[in-house]
Amino acid sequence: LFAGETDFLKGVVAMDGLPPADRLEVCFAGRSNVGKSSLINALTGRKGLARASNTPGRTQEINYFTTLGGPFLVDLPGYGYAEAPLPVVEKWQRLLKAYLSGRQTLRRAFVLIDARHGVKAVDEEIMALLDSAAVTFQVVLTKADKVKAKDRDKVLNQVRAALSNHPAAYPELVVTSSEKGDGIATLRAIIAGIE
């Protein structure tokens, strides 16, 4: 599904630019700098595939990647940049809403949460959006190598408490480190099993 067979397909800025919905897809969402590009690169085994999205004001594109015989991997722009101009934020939110509620083949969203920081207000907003669009979402903790086990457990408890308020949340979390490779095989298997 992933080994050397993942490719960039296209960047999308409007609903009419989405590729034909001829297969299932999963998407990745998270605050800027959460480690989303690193995770997609680790999952696919291709270092430069997803580029770091942490430039304020950078074009807000939904990036599509193909996998061999598997779902599209869809990289949503990082959110939570206070510096982004309001019209840009609003345009992005309209596209995000339209995408999440209108894409029939979207099977799951992975919401990335930094293992050091836990769920923030902007993450809550995305989760609420996923609830109202009835898109099942699963939390992926990132950068697990950066926290001690004890602190990570605190964050895990905070995340679980936050998830209990979200009907679309999938109960099982995945703890990952793109740096060390932790949880990457698990996440690949989850994606491969999506139907």
Residue ranges binding ligand GDP (CB under 6 A): 30, 32-38, 52-54, 78, 142-143, 145-146, 177-179
Residue 164 beta carbon to ligand GDP: minimum distance, rounded to whole angstroms? 26
Residue 187 beta carbon to ligand GDP: minimum distance, rounded to whole angstroms? 12
Indicate the Cα dihedral angle 186, 187, 192, 193, nearest 10°. Answer: 70
Sequence-ordered list of residues with C-beta below 8 angstroms from that of 188, at least 6 positions apart, any chain: 1, 2, 43
Spatial distance between the Cα atoms of 24 and 66, rounded to a whole number of angstroms: 11
Q: Which residue spans within the chain are E strands per DSSP?
A: 7-12, 25-30, 62-66, 72-75, 106-114, 137-142, 174-175
Show the tokens assigned to 66: 């193909």
Task: Please say which residue, 24 or 145, places its beta carbon nearer to ligand GDP.
Answer: 145
Task: Please say which residue, 37 or 67, places its beta carbon nearer to ligand GDP.
Answer: 37
Task: Please say which residue, 71 or 78, places its beta carbon nearer to ligand GDP.
Answer: 78
Spatial distance between the Cα atoms of 171 and 180, rounded to a whole number of angstroms: 24
Residue 165 beta carbon to ligand GDP: minimum distance, rounded to whole angstroms? 24
Task: Please say which residue, 2 or 24, places its beta carbon nearer to ligand GDP.
Answer: 2
Show the tokens assigned to 96: 């995000």
Residue 69 beta carbon to ligand GDP: minimum distance, rounded to whole angstroms? 26
Spatial distance between the Cα atoms of 8 and 46, rounded to a whole number of angstroms: 11
Angle formed by the axes of helices 121-132 and 149-163, to 10°?
A: 40
Task: Please say which residue, 50 or 163, places its beta carbon nearer to ligand GDP.
Answer: 50
Residue 55 beta carbon to ligand GDP: minimum distance, rounded to whole angstroms? 9
